[in-house]
Structure 1
Amino acid sequence: MIDTSLSELIAQGENHALEFKSAQVHPDSLARELVALANTHGGVILLGVEDSGDIAGVPTDKNYEEWVTNIARENVIPALDVLITRHWHTEKQVLQIDVPKGRDKPYQTRQFQFLIRVGSTNRVATQAELMRLFQQSGMFHYDLQGVDRTTIRDLNLAQIDDYFAAYQIDFRKEEDQVRILTNTDILDESGRVTLGGLLMFGINPQRHLPNACISFAHFAGTELDEELLDKQVIGGTLNIQVDTVLAILKNHIRQPSRIEGGKTVDQIFQYPEKVFRELLVNACVHRDYAIHGSRIRVFVFDDRVEFISPGRLPNTVSIEKLRLGVSYARNPVILKFMENLRYIDKLGRGLPMVYRTATQAGRRVEFAEIGEEFKVVLGLGE
């Protein structure tokens, strides 16, 4: 009798997270599958299953578990840990190889190929995709990169002066302002403004980063095809974006109330301002700025508010870990400045606070990865 869990896996067919492999597969071919899955979102390889889904099995006269483990450690760079489970179909053995979403991205083969999984096939990562893999591993931070065709003239020096004044530094009187800006990651070594510096202190950040802004939309219903009541694109530095969208949200979310004893009392639960502020800051600080063709989006519907940010969760952070306060600094420069401006702390308390506030009020709250985006959905009152 066939193992039920094996039957269910095979019934899915090969897809972005499932690969069938014959027991006769060459070690280098298996290594390519391991690399592609680990560099993407992880997945499963069924060894002993043909491309057609037919079960051919794995011979028992060889220790295939050790063979697979050695390939994962010796043919994949850096070494990869996999979990192997045995399944049986009558007298045929199938090995289920669970490949994790790698914590040490990017992985490569011994032939120096950086592969990713696209649908049910593998391909060599593009330069932009490879950059994101390095970014996810923490080996490379995009917000530290200099923005082409920018100089110190693109910075709001009055705003920078206010920032340093909080640390008893009179920036206007400093003789070597460039050195200070370089040491604080606002400029790079070549004199260009870093992406983080431009988004925090730029005169007009969207001149060079047109999609580093927030799109807001309010729909008269519960679907995207409902009547559009309002639509705005909010630019400027990140702190201005957060403050502006927060004010817009307060004006657009219904707040039924009544008068009691001369006081205005809410008739239904209202989220405290800190919830919306946290989600806006989180989207700005943790979005993947290497994805150029997408913006942060905030959508208001009759029954919910959606916050959508370009980029999946980095490194080994998962949805469950987010609820427990586990975080990862994809953009450490932006995080540093937003923290110093009192928009955020690094203790990981923000999203757990959002989750706790919503659930205690009996409101819907969802964290989800959809494609190359991260979405938070907050349910509104009836």
Structure 2
Amino acid sequence: MDPQRDIDLIDELRSQATETAWLEFKENLGDENRIGKLISALSNAARLEGKENAFLVWGVEDGTHDVVGTKFNPFTKTVGAQPFELWLRQRLSPAPVLKFRSVDHPEGKLVLLEIPAPTMAPTAFESVSYVRVGSTTPKLTDDPARYQALIEKMRPYTWEHGIAATYVPASDVLKLIDFASYFRLTGQSVPTNDEAILSKLQSDKLIQADVGGRWNILNLGAILFASDLDEFETSLARKGVRFVRYAGSDRTATVSHRRDGKRGYAVGFENLLEFINGLLPQNEHIGQALRVAQPLFPTLSIRELVANALIHQDMTISGAGPQIELFEDRIEITNPGRPLMETERMIDQPPRSRNEAMASLMRRMGMCEEQGSGLDKVFKEVEVCQLPAPLLKAGDSSMQVVLYGPRRFAEMSAEERVRACYFHAVLQFMGGERMRNNTLCARFGIDAKNAAQASGVIRKALELELIKVADAEHPRAGYYPWWA
């Protein structure tokens, strides 16, 4: 942590007219139990006040806010045989990440404690939760109204609102963030002065004001608009998109192209797609729906699948980012994080994203379809091109979509045929229609004289209970997906 930032932070805290519910000044408070209760009270009060952190400062006089210095030293203090910080952590729950810092203020030596506000449950000391009311610290359960308000204000951690870089000068913010691309992609004119530019970035929660006239760059701003992700912490830089092209059909083949994304997702999105499309094999002769010299894979489908991988990944998984692997017969797009819904229901239900702010901004910039309409369009385009149905694979800590190149019905495996049948039934149902033998024939490019081939696929899908007869009294009237 920058020592000057701590000085600026303390001076800003001292500028408060009075102590607030999330701020306390002490001179030499050393009683460990009083400190523990105060940490619980300040933490809970911070969430009630809409703050992400509370602060406890030793060495500042309560009434005047003058710096008087302190003899309190949390780094050498012990309780019994235990270091003080360890003793505290064992008695606070959920255990917050406490940040004691010694501050050499120009007017005296201080100790600063930054206390995070709770996100999942009220902060408790010795299993009792407290809250700050004026200068008192009553039990939270003694104030039912505040307790209920705290429960309502707590929320799970949102990665997008985390801080990627702190205490950044305004001039450096405008170097680290590609603000010109932000204004271009959001359809806004670039303001004529830096102050207005920063204000716009702040309004979209890409940055936030810090102390001392400086700024914090939030994760959302960095991951979307970073000029160079390597300028941030390694954990963020590792979330750049990795692309690999193999010269064959498996990973033992020679790697012919490799690209590790260095720019934010938004500023690098179009260049990434252009790079991928330039490497796609060309199809010249297969299928009645395809024209000569079209890419092997539908480019609009690739655009949507790449955007989905960016939006729906679990950003809290460290050391991993989206990966795109291009083979001679397929493209695999993988993102960290197990999906939040079953793969077989992804095209008929609205998506659930861990990164709603990023999803909203990317839709606003036209990088993906409106909510709930993207993946079904991918499957529709695949059907028009008479390609095998995409494979959606949920792993323990990842999600993968495999988009296959053209294969005739005779070249598809039994599993691929049944998968295509199921998703065809889903698309028909979403369009207010029923899947029938003739619609499945059209989907596979099967001649009417060979309709028995489609009937065999339907029988297998019925056996596996992926589809069902739409009308039991008229079995030939068509089919629905199993959940309809």
Common fold: TM-score over 0.5? yes
- Equivalent pair of 2:225/2:267 in contact (CA under 8 Å): no
Aligned to 1:210: 237
Aligned to 2:98: none
**How far has the Cα of 1:377 moved from its partner?**
0.4
- Of 259, 274, 279, which residue of structure 1 is paired with 2:300? 274
Per the normalisation by structure 2, the TM-score is 0.45
Amino acid at match of 1:156: D
Q: 1:374 to 1:179 in 2, by over 3 A?
A: same
- Of 273, 280, 301, which residue of structure 2 is paired with 1:246? 273
Q: 1:379 to 1:162 in 2, by over 3 A?
A: closer
**How far has the Cα of 1:268 moved from its partner?**
7.5
Aligned to 1:301: 327
Cα distance in structure 2, aligned partners of 1:301 and 1:220: 7
Cα distance in structure 2, aligned partners of 1:269 and 1:253: 6
Cα distance in structure 2, aligned partners of 1:220 and 1:254: 11
Q: 1:216 to 1:138 in 2, by over 3 A?
A: farther
- Of 313, 329, 338, which residue of structure 2 is paired with 1:312? 338
Aligned to 2:439: none
Aligned-residue CA RMSD (Å)? 3.1
Cα distance in structure 2, aligned partners of 1:375 and 1:239: 21
Aligned to 1:182: 202
Aligned to 1:345: 369
**How far has the Cα of 1:338 moved from its partner?**
1.2
Cα distance in structure 1, aligned partners of 2:276 and 2:259: 12
Q: Secondary structure at the residue paired with 1:188?
A: strand
**How far has the Cα of 1:163 moved from its partner?**
5.1
- Of 222, 227, 245, which residue of structure 2 is paired with 1:198? 222
Greater shift in the superposed pair: 321-330 or 276-285: 321-330
- Equivalent pair of 2:238/2:321 in contact (CA under 8 Å): yes
Where do residues 138-153 of structure 1 align in structure 2 (5 Å cutoff)?
139-149=156-166, 151=168, 152=170, 153=172
Cα distance in structure 1, aligned partners of 2:295 and 2:193: 51
Per the normalisation by structure 1, the TM-score is 0.56
- Equivalent pair of 2:241/2:321 in contact (CA under 8 Å): yes
- Of 360, 366, 374, which residue of structure 1 is paired with 2:391? 366
Cα distance in structure 2, aligned partners of 1:231 and 1:150: 35
**Percent of aligned pairs with the same residue?**
16
- Equivalent pair of 1:150/1:192 in contact (CA under 8 Å): yes
Deviations 1:163-208 (A, max 9, x none): 56x35x6533475554443332011353311111112222223321
- Of 405, 411, 423, which residue of structure 2 is paired with 1:380? 405
- Of 321, 330, 335, which residue of structure 1 is paired with 2:345? 321
Deviations 1:203-244 (A, max 9, x none): 223321211211111122222112222222122121243222
Q: 1:245 to 1:179 in 2, by over 3 A?
A: closer
- Equivalent pair of 1:145/1:188 in contact (CA under 8 Å): no
- Equivalent pair of 1:155/1:202 in contact (CA under 8 Å): yes
Aligned to 2:191: 171
Where do residues 41-60 of structure 1 align in structure 2 (5 Å cutoff)?
none
Greater Rg, structure 1 or structure 2?
2
Aligned to 2:358: 334
Higher relative contact order (CA 8 A, sep 6+): 1
- Structure 2 unaligned blocks of 5 or more: 1-118, 128-153, 408-484
Cα distance in structure 1, aligned partners of 2:280 and 2:185: 33
**How far has the Cα of 1:308 moved from its partner?**
0.5
- Of 250, 260, 275, which residue of structure 2 is paired with 1:233? 260
Amino acid at match of 2:404: G
Q: Secondary structure at the residue paired with 1:313?
A: coil
Deviations 1:15-35 (A, max 9, x none): xxxxxxxxxxxxxxxxxxxxx
Q: 1:150 to 1:198 in 2, by over 3 A?
A: farther
Q: 1:150 to 1:287 in 2, by over 3 A?
A: farther
Cα distance in structure 2, aligned partners of 1:257 and 1:247: 20
Q: Does 1:285 align with 2:305?
A: no
Q: 1:284 to 1:150 in 2, by over 3 A?
A: farther
Cα distance in structure 2, aligned partners of 1:170 and 1:297: 33
Cα distance in structure 1, aligned partners of 2:378 and 2:120: 32
Q: 1:199 to 1:356 in 2, by over 3 A?
A: same
Q: 1:335 to 1:269 in 2, by over 3 A?
A: closer
Q: 1:180 to 1:273 in 2, by over 3 A?
A: same
- Equivalent pair of 2:387/2:405 in contact (CA under 8 Å): no
**How far has the Cα of 1:257 moved from its partner?**
2.7
Higher percent of residues as helix: 2
Amino acid at match of 2:372: G
Aligned to 2:479: none
Q: Does 1:222 align with 2:243?
A: no
Deviations 1:233-261 (A, max 9, x none): 12212124322232222222221337xxx
Aligned to 1:155: 177
Cα distance in structure 2, aligned partners of 1:170 and 1:232: 31
- Equivalent pair of 1:338/1:344 in contact (CA under 8 Å): yes
- Equivalent pair of 1:200/1:337 in contact (CA under 8 Å): no
- Structure 1 unaligned blocks of 5 or more: 1-104, 113-136, 259-263
Amino acid at match of 1:155: I
Deviations 1:292-344 (A, max 9, x none): 21121111112211000111113xx2212212142123112222221221112
